[in-house]
Structure 1
Amino acid sequence: MKQSTPFVLIRGLFREQRHWGRFPALLSKAFPDSDVICVDIPGAGRRNMELSPTSIESMVDKIRDDFDARVPVNIIAISMGGMIGLQWAAMYPDEVNSLICINTSAKNYSTFCHRLRPKNYFNIIKAAFSNVKYREKAIYSLVSNRPENTEVINGWISYADEYPISKNNFFRQLLAAFRFDITRPVSCRVLFISSLNDNLVSHIATKAIAEKWLAPMIVNTLAGHDIPLDDPQWLCDKVESFITHSH
């Protein structure tokens, strides 16, 4: 029976738990006494037949429904997942021990053009209406700074074929993300991680929240938006350092 505080991993827009790639296994190796629980947002992954909520608050409650015990958890979350993590900690402070937010944003701290770089608007809409192969290749080019990896993209295509996301849910998730604003959670330690060379969301969007809250922030200078994809071991090392020093 694993005794230490469990980790809950939450992905972002249009992604499901398998998009964490190698990272959960690395995290399990670093924390062998902790459960690592990857969740799906309604409308994605195993929950693809559900309707995606149009508010982050509702996403929190839907994800919480999957948890039997109300034990405090360590949340690691990326992009819109970071919004869900922040909202979870704000709404249910006794349930979140620590929170690590990767490349996230909120409308009350950043402008629209920082939260989603203007050069990507057309590409994202086009991807939504394209076939799966085109869409996943396009998403890879938006979120990764590494050379195109056919093996990874083919994996993503197989996930999308198995659990397709509807166009309706695609836009409902976008709406929820753009409507999101946040007040600082009072009871858990928060670490922000951002990619200096994020081509999807401006580095300034994460930095703005961290600076306002006087919260620690770590910057990755190489990875794209999807740090778990581009630099999973680096991310695991940063998580280990933060969690170890929080006790």
Structure 2
Amino acid sequence: MKSFACLAWFESGEFDIAPNGLGDVFALANGDSIYVASAFLSDPAVYRSKAPISRVFGNVGRPELTLMIPPSHPRLAEPDLRSWKLINHCPFDGTFQNGFASTSLHLTFTDFEMPLDVGARGLRDRQVVLLESLVSIDDRGRKVGDLDILSMFDSERLTIEICPHMNEHEAQEGSPVDGLVSLDCWDEFLDPPRSAGVFRATGNWQARLSAAAAGIQAAWKRVLVLPESPCVRCLQNYKNMDESLLLVA
């Protein structure tokens, strides 16, 4: 993001970094501030309405100005054949709930780092460094996978749904939707059904963000993010679909 090149200049007062080399950067850490792409800190259905970068207090324990980048090929966990008892793929009953209260996002670092040339010579210390960073899904202490969140929003397979049913009573009307399957745990997500699946994490922005990004990286052909207050009536458009469609509720 070009914004991080501007931030590097303002934070340091001297580092004029070419923006074309920072396309994958999602965060900048310097001193007691971490500037993060807002997509990492909000629900995927609403992040575009916010400023592109948010500041949080903290540090990553490094003296350099640190630019964080995702891995080239983030990995998701493979389906665990031993967890077959957890995979029910029950028909969607028309209710929305949060089955992923134990899901959270964690930041760690790999061993890859690369100093950037900022024009200074003769110094032993590095002043600016690219640091490969993993944003990982954790569920009850189990690592589900690593995410590349920014690239998700550039994918043609992602759709952000806008609900036209503004009246709350009208939006809640409805009955079970034929042909949709409920996904209430990560094992059901990693071993997807043959029909459209509803990832039920209502009110849990971290789980919804994780599901949307992981769905793009996985084998789902389309990923549709429902509004923060999902609507049963909107789902009628997707009933009895044969394609691999992930509905993030």
TM-score, length-normalised on structure 2? 0.23
With a CA cutoff of 8 Å and minimum separation of 6, indicate the structure with the bigger relative contact order.
1
Normalized per residue, which structure has more helix?
1
Whose radius of gyration is greater, 1 or 2? 2
Normalized per residue, which structure has more strand?
2
TM-score, length-normalised on structure 1? 0.24
